[in-house]
Amino acid sequence: MSEPFILCEGLVKIYQVAELEMVALQGLNLTIEQGELVGIVGASGSGKSTLMNILGGLDRPTAGKVRVDGHDLLKMPDRQLNRYRREKVGFVWQQSTRNLVPYLNAIQNVMLPMTLAGVTGREKRRRAAELLEIVGLGDRMYHHVPELSGGEQQRVAIAVALANNPTLLLADEPTGELDSVTAKAIYRTFQMLTRELGITTLIVSHDPGIARHVDRVVAIRDGMLASETIRHAATPQPTADGESPATEEEEHSFAELVVLDSAGRVHIPQEFLEQLNIQGRAQLELTEEGILIRPAVHTRTEQVRVDGNGATDGVLKVAVQEEQPAANGKQRGGVRRLFGRLGRRKKE
């Protein structure tokens, strides 16, 4: 089996801030195939930008494996990593000020990375014009950045990111400052690029509706891959009057799947653990429905006074099993006396 386009195995990133260590990624596993359009979601601070910076060659991981299109980004020497970033990766950021030079017009912005890469002459202008046509801005080439709308600026930014013909496009919140209609148009541009040019695209987003616009959404929680939502194109069901369904949403179904790593580990959402008061250990049960994870049963030893017929009076040690109370205060299952007599002290 050939290696996926992006392969992260046990990826760890630790930032050192003064005396403190900040673990941003703690053993992340991820595979992405060439030409996939993938959304990356997760709470603030979960590690999304850290992952993007590593995949884009802007930062190095602390440990683990990270390979993109056969390049080992952990072991690659600095000079090679700089080349990888310039030649293989295109970036689109949320703020247009980070993407574009405001006093240049659209086509000059797209030509700029080519100039830096040493492309000269007519070829540079031809390719820049072609890219602006591809993103639907053929009629805005000579507009300066402030003369373009937010959506148009992001489309110029996508053309800039494509200038040096990258194989990987990384977009960090590219629709964060856009209204929903404009955001949809930007997603359509990404879809077209992956379909027509075969570019692998990763989009970091806080948009809960991103699953409708990408092939797959991966959710990062606490620096680990937690779940994946896969979009299936459903066969459109005709309405009662024989019409096709009206909205995009009706044509897709979504499946959210928990991710298992190669050792069979899964990441259980913190809120589930808190709700069931599961800490440290849990009981695992194989049922007909699947695998059940329950709060662990605690065992403590209790001494029970036994009044017998004189000779058998004494103290019994009994092991008592009790489930932890749920976070809502309800006791599940109560107390069960489990084992028999563990020890008996004879009456003197």
Ligand X SMILES: Nc1ncnc2c1ncn2[C@@H]1O[C@H](COP(=O)(O)OP(=O)(O)OP(=O)(O)O)[C@@H](O)[C@H]1O
Give me the residues that bind ligand X (CB under 6 A), please: 15, 17, 22, 24, 42, 44-50
Q: What gap in Å lies between CA 143 and CA 104, rounded to an integer?
A: 9
Nearer to ligand X, 24 or 162 (CB): 24
Smaller CB distance to ligand X: residue 25 or 89?
25
Q: For ligand X, which is the closer residue by CB, 24 or 114? A: 24
Q: What's the closest the beta carbon of residue 53 comes to ligand X, in angstroms?
A: 8
Nearer to ligand X by Cβ, of 74 and 316: the residue is 74
Q: Which is nearer to ligand X, 48 or 267 (CB)?
A: 48
d(Cα 66, Cα 90) in Å, to the nearest integer?
18
How far apart (Å, rounded) are the C-alpha atoms in residues 134 and 123? Answer: 16
CB 346 within 8 A of CB 314: yes
Query: Of the two residues 45 and 138, which places its CB atom closer to ligand X in the complex?
Result: 45
Q: Cα separation of 87 and 185, whole Å?
A: 27
Least distance to ligand X, CB of residue 123, Å: 37
The two beta strands, 297-306 and 314-323, are antiparallel
Least Å distance between CB 47 and ligand X?
4
Across the chain, where does the E strand assignment appear? 6-17, 20-32, 37-41, 63-68, 71-72, 89-92, 168-172, 200-204, 216-221, 224-233, 252-258, 282-286, 291-295, 297-306, 314-323, 335-337, 344-346
Q: How far is the CB of 78 from ligand X (least distance, A)?
A: 18
| Residues sharing a CB contact under 8 Å with residue 162, sequence separation 6 or more, in sequence order | 90, 131, 134, 169, 193, 197, 199
Identify which of residues 36 and 207 has a Cβ nearer to ligand X in the complex.
Answer: 207
Residues 6+ apart with CB under 8 A from 314: 306, 308, 344, 345, 346, 347
Closest approach of ligand X to the CB of residue 339, in Å: 46
Q: What is the C-alpha separation between 226 and 249, in angstroms, rounded? A: 24
Min dist CB 50 to ligand X, Å, is 3
CB of 144 to ligand X, least distance (A): 29
Comparing CB distances to ligand X, the nearer of 109 and 205 is 205
Taking the complex as a whole, the smallest distance from the CB of residue 51 to ligand X amounts, in Å, to: 7
CA distance 259 to 103: 46
DSSP 192-203: HHHHHH--EEEE
